[in-house]
Amino acid sequence: RFRVASITKTFVATVLLQLEDEGKLSLDDTVEKWLPGVVRGNGHDGRKITVRQLLNHTSGIYNYTDDPAFARKYLHEGFLKHRYDTVPPAYHIKVAMAHPPNFEPGKSFRYSNTGYVLAGLIIEKASGTSYEQQVRERIINPLKLRATHNPGNTHHMPQPSSRAYSKLTPDPTATKVHDVTVMNGSQGWADGDIISSAADLNRFYKALIRGELLSPKQLTAMKTTGPEGYGLGLFKTETTCGTTLWGHSGGAAGSLSDALTTEDGSRQLAFNANGDYDVTPASFQRVVEAEFCGTEPGTPPKATTDAGADAHVLRTGRG
């Protein structure tokens, strides 16, 4: 098992698309409709932001993990002291609202973990139950993902698991390495709390892309991408040999992951690096190229549209 971090976002988007298909909400609803008064301050206005814009990162809402104080306390040097802290969704949102938005809603793309915290709260309002219960009942149990769960407000890491290692600093000259396996799951919540395995992630993405979880209309909506190659909780990327892949990457302290599937669902790849240093987007892409193109591991790959997700992970400590 390992922390899949932002791969969680595909699970969240899938639940919201299912709720829309059932008529319980619309992705074109405003955030204000479901969370009155929550997205306000410093230019943020939930009346102008839709649920869809949360999912495709076009809301402009400030990404709370970019906040320097939050990063120091929970991602970098303060991690060991605060790893057991409970961090409720309201705190993530408060941090984000203390900053101005990155742009007007719908005008650009910028990855925002805050958007998925809000998406988790909307799931709870629309369903009447917890975000965790919705993921469990709609995805984990039907697909029999026995190694997958939401840790909630606990620091438990089920076994067997790898250890996770980090230098807990963006300083490339740092040498001390820390075991960061244990942390409170609430610190990522709906933007990145899920614990899973490579086998379970392969099963999930295979079922998703083959239409076992979403209707054709909803799957088409999920796969409708903007210039950055991002749909609704799902990245689209092309290998150097022309294979189209769908999936997501993720990064938590000491844990970098990628999960991908071919367009027809015939082949999947999921893998994890249990250290968040000395790893680059290019090194991850070499694994992808080797799997789907048969490229020799030492062959430098061309850049792909998915590199931005891994770059975000390396920059912020969580993505």
Domains with residue ranges and CATH for the chain:
2-316 (3.40.710.10)
* C-beta atoms surrounding 220 within 10 Å: 12
pLDDT score at 279: 86
Write the single-letter amino acid at 205: Y
The rounded distance, in Å, linking the Cα atoms of 252 and 274 is: 10
Radius of gyration of the CA atoms of the chain, in A: 18
* C-beta atoms surrounding 143 within 10 Å: 17
Candidates 6, 59, 186, 257; catalytic one: 6
The rounded distance, in Å, linking the Cα atoms of 77 and 173 is: 15
- Whether residue 245 is predicted with pLDDT greater than 90 in this model: the reply is yes
- Whether residue 34 is predicted with pLDDT greater than 70 in this model: the reply is yes
- Whether residue 291 is predicted with pLDDT greater than 90 in this model: the reply is yes
- What residues have CB less than 8 Å from 98, skipping those under 6 apart? 41, 42, 67
* Dihedral pair phi/psi, residue 295, rounded to 5°: -70, 140
pLDDT confidence band for 319 (50 / 70 / 90): low
Mean pLDDT within 262-273: 97
- CA-based nearest residue to 176, from 187, 184, 168: 168
Please provide the size of the chain in residues: 319
Write the single-letter amino acid at 277: Y
Mean pLDDT within 242-246: 97
What proportion of the chain, given as a percentage, has pLDDT over 70? 92
- Whether residue 316 is predicted with pLDDT greater than 80 in this model: the reply is no
Contact 11, 194 (CB under 8 A): yes
Q: Per-residue pLDDT tens for 56-74?
A: 999 999 999 999 999 999 9
- Whether residue 310 is predicted with pLDDT greater than 70 in this model: the reply is no
pLDDT score at 311: 37
Reply yes or no: is the peptide bond before residue 160 cis, omega within 30 of 0. Answer: yes
Q: DSSP E strands: which ranges in 124-224?
A: 165-166, 178-179, 195-196
Mean pLDDT within 237-253: 96
State CA 287 to chain mean position distance.
20
Contact 234, 170 (CB under 8 A): no
pLDDT score at 318: 53
- Whether residue 86 is predicted with pLDDT greater than 60 in this model: the reply is yes
Contact 201, 130 (CB under 8 A): no
Write the single-letter amino acid at 106: G
Mean pLDDT within 147-174: 93
Token readout for 154 is 């606990």
Alpha helix stretches (DSSP H) within 185-306: 198-209, 216-222, 281-293
State CA 9 to chain mean position distance.
4
pLDDT confidence band for 42 (50 / 70 / 90): very high
Average pLDDT of the residues of the chain: 92
The rounded distance, in Å, linking the Cα atoms of 27 and 34 is: 11
pLDDT confidence band for 278 (50 / 70 / 90): confident
* Dihedral pair phi/psi, residue 56, rounded to 5°: -105, 15
Tell me the HSE value of 309 on the side-chain side, using a 13 A CA sphere: 31
Residue 144: left if φ>0, alpha if ψ -120 to 50, beta else—which one? Answer: left
pLDDT score at 295: 72
Mean pLDDT within 102-108: 97
- Whether residue 317 is predicted with pLDDT greater than 50 in this model: the reply is no
State CA 267 to chain mean position distance.
21
Q: Quick check: is 6 catalytic?
A: yes
Burial class (CB in 10 A: 0-12, 13-18, 19+), 119: buried
CA torsion angle 78 80 81 86 (round to 10): 90
Mean pLDDT within 113-124: 98
